């Protein structure tokens, strides 16, 4: 599994003076490949794609990967290394298979991971306004599940009731803020319930921009940390429009 935090670290690394050895290992089978197979595959890639100078430069990294594979217990279909001496060391296990490859560049070669995550991983789209929330999960490019929750209408303004203008305005504002806080708390509870058995990789929020921050802050930490972007929309848009908009944003996550 790879987290958004790890993706950000890898995307941020760019150092021509301390290049990265990127190694993708695995086998296109239903079972996790054994350490012996991965070790043999690794050395085959080294001799095919790394010249003598590169092998010499990355000697310590190669020994570190070899040691890791020698004690490896199979538990993933793809095993990926990004290493640059003391500057970088990341080991990633994925439950889906990626083609074996090896490269040396100033930046980690993460595009195969990003492409696969967009293809296979589930993400959540939340559409929120002052009345309700619509929740959708997208997996392999398709909407696979959705749920609507109506928390209660929260007005922008309310009619005055004979009070002085300033006093009436303050009272109305506080009342509406109380309603909004209650509504967002119920939204967060509904989202947590909807996602508790789902392996959501990242989250996109849509709807009314004025409440994006409040909604994000109300979510449990495990979900809050997965928010990657937002977009302004009316929430009663057709499903195909939701899918198109979310897929465009998801594509930017890896760009």
CATH number of the domain at 144, please.
3.30.420.60
Q: How many domains does the chain have?
A: 2
Same domain, yes or no, for 139 and 93? no
pLDDT confidence tier of residue 143, bands split at 50, 70 and 90:
confident
Same domain, yes or no, for 97 and 188? no
Same domain, yes or no, for 110 and 208? no
Same domain, yes or no, for 35 and 21? yes
Same domain, yes or no, for 127 and 227? yes
Which CATH number covers residue 28?
Answer: 3.30.960.10
Q: How many C-beta neighbours within 10 Å does residue 46 have?
A: 19
What are the E-state strand segments in 169-226? 200-207
Contact predicate 81/104, CB 8 Å: no
Q: Which of 43-47, 131-135, 222-226, 246-250 has the lowest mean pLDDT?
A: 246-250
Same domain, yes or no, for 173 and 210? yes
What are the structure tokens assigned to 64, written together? Answer: 């570190």
Same domain, yes or no, for 99 and 148? no
Q: Which domain holds residue 93?
A: 4-118
Distances (CA, A) of 178 to 19, 31, 92, 156, 215: 54, 53, 45, 12, 14
Q: Choose between 126 and 29: higher pLDDT.
A: 126
Boundary residue ending a domain (103, 118, 133): 118
* Chain segment 71-123, per-residue pLDDT in tens: 998 888 899 999 999 999 999 998 788 999 999 999 999 999 988 877 777 89
Same domain, yes or no, for 201 and 128? yes
């Amino acid at each position: 599994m790879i987290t958004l935090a790890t993706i950000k670290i890898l995307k941020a690394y760019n150092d021509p003076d301390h290049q990265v050895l990127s190694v993708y290992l695995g086998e296109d089978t239903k079972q996790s490949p054994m350490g012996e197979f991965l070790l043999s595959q690794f050395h085959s890639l080294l001799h095919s794609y790394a010249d003598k100078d590169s092998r010499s430069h990355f000697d310590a990294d190669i020994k570190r990967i070899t040691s890791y594979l020698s004690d490896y217990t199979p538990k993933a279909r793809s095993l990926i290394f990004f290493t640059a001496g003391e500057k970088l060391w990341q080991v990633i296990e994925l439950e889906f298979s990626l083609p074996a490859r090896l490269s040396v560049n100033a930046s980690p070669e993460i595009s195969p991971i990003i492409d696969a995550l967009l293809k296979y991983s589930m993400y959540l789209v939340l559409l929120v306004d002052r009345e309700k929330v619509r929740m959708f999960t997208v997996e392999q490019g398709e909407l696979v599940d959705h749920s609507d929750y109506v928390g209660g209408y929260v007005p922008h303004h309310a009619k005055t009731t004979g009070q002085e203008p300033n006093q009436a305005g303050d009272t109305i504002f506080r009342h509406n803020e109380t309603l909004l806080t209650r509504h967002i708390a119920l939204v967060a509870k509904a989202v947590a319930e909807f996602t508790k058995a789902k392996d959501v990789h990242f989250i996109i929020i849509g709807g009314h921009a004025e409440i994006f921050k409040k909604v994000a802050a109300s979510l449990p930490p495990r979900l809050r940390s997965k928010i990657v972007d937002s977009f302004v929309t009316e929430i009663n848009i057709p499903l195909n429009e939701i899918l198109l908009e979310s897929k465009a944003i998801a594509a930017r996550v890896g760009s």
